Chain A
């Protein structure tokens, strides 16, 4: 019996994922309304639950893809993978107020620049504080603090050590997870309640998954504005990481 149910889940992976995520959202909405009197968004709870499940599954399977490493939940990997995620992000642009987006355009560019430089400098300084002295390792770890894609792309281009690459990716993943969980908590404090600040937020945080999760948990109306700038972040990071940043670091540490 159990085996047959498992078989259906494996065979109908994407359909099963719809059902599982729907159930998760239902539980989260009920929890949000009952336990927190609606103060915490149901989607925020769902994202945290998703992360918690990914942690448990990761411990159990030893894999890198959370629950998607379990064969019965392989469909979650497809549903939450880059293809459908990007498809849904593009769809949110249908609701964008063009006037608002244009008005905040320059702010978004400024945010992108700061959001690339600040994490890199912090990551590079941390690496130096922990005893890394070669320019390649420092640059790779710094790039990881930008996003978990910029890190390995930069590291691969520079021929970084694999242990450094692991650190670099872990830094980016940690940042993404922290953005997802932390954004709803600090949203009021940092004035994240309008399209302008959402565009600044997207450019500064960069990590598309972090921004996507953080804004969904905070306020759905901000999603398209944050995503619009965030999607440029990784590309820019990959552009300056192995070139401008590496050359600067090399000039500084010799």
Chain B
């Protein structure tokens, strides 16, 4: 059932945020430390467990993947409620501090990205991108209803 997927996602988020709060208290910080990141790790672990047990059903998948396809629209809604007026009218200190730190950090991304191998994104990475972009339905569906196993390999995305 779809709700199981949504509930799994909710549970991981709640536990992650709770752990983040605990970590914040333990470190003496008035903020949540990595709660969302911990929730993501929990969800990754839950997925691996479900796959290993062969219990990752269509409903569970749908429940979680629906929310990852809603990610971009939610980000657009987030953009529409930023305090852009404050950002634009911040004055020279704000502009200089923000621009210079941004440029240095972009340079660091370029620098750090050079470490290690730069291989092609794996099939799972591509598949994930297609899910989040909501492009999966663009992949050609199998014409003849061949009996496909539920845990069949992800639909191979076409090479860009």
A residues neighboring B (CB under 8 Å): 17-18, 21-22, 24-25, 43, 46-55, 57-59, 64-68, 73, 76-77, 79-81, 84-101, 103-104, 107, 110-111, 114-115, 118-119, 122-123, 126-127, 129-130, 141, 144-145, 149, 153, 156-157, 167, 169-180, 182, 186, 189-192, 194-197, 200-201, 204-205, 208-209, 212-213, 216, 219-224, 227-229, 231-232, 234-236, 238-239
Contacts and interface: CB of A to CB of B under 8 A. Distances in A.
Given A43-B72, A88-B75, 5 more contacts: A53-B80, A79-B73, A122-B101, A145-B101, A194-B125
A189 B76 CA distance: 25
18 contacts: A48-B79, A67-B80, A80-B79, A89-B36, A90-B43, A91-B66, A97-B125, A98-B48, A103-B116, A107-B115, A119-B97, A167-B91, A170-B91, A174-B98, A177-B87, A221-B132, A223-B132, A234-B32
A204 B109 contact: yes
A66 B84 contact: yes
B133 interface: yes
B78 interface: yes
Contacts of B116: 103-104, 107, 196
Contacts of B133: 43, 220-221
B104 interface: yes
The 8 closest A-B pairs by CB, nearest first: A221-B129, A95-B128, A80-B77, A235-B33, A50-B79, A93-B40, A80-B78, A58-B85
B98 A145 contact: yes
Interface string B111-155: 011111011011011111111110000000000000000000000
Given A54-B82, A58-B85, A111 B13 contact: no
- Most interface-central of B16, B82, B131 (chain A CB within 10 A): B82
Contacts of A186: 106
Contacts of B92: 130
B37 interface: yes
A93 B23 CA distance: 21
Most chain B beta-carbon contacts within 10 A, residue among A43, A92, A167, A222: A92
Contacts of B90: 167, 170-171, 173-174
B121 A194 contact: yes
Interface residues of B, number: 89
B102 A208 contact: no
B52 interface: no
Given A50-B79, A92-B68, A227 B40 contact: yes
A67 to B, nearest CB: 5
A51 B77 CA distance: 9
Contacts, number: 363
Contacts of A228: 37, 40-41
Contacts of B119: 194
B122 A93 contact: no
Contact of B27 (A43, A76, A87, A239): A239
B113 A234 contact: no
Contacts of B101: 118-119, 122-123, 145, 175
A58 B93 CA distance: 21
Nearest to A200: B112
B86 A64 contact: yes
Given A54-B82, A58-B85, A200-B113, A114 B94 contact: no
Contacts of A221: 121, 125-126, 128-130, 132-133
Nearest to B66: A91
A198 B137 CA distance: 25
Contacts of B125: 97, 100, 194-195, 221
Contact of B81 (A24, A67, A227): A67
A60 to B, nearest CB: 10
Contacts of A55: 84-85, 88
B9 A91 contact: yes
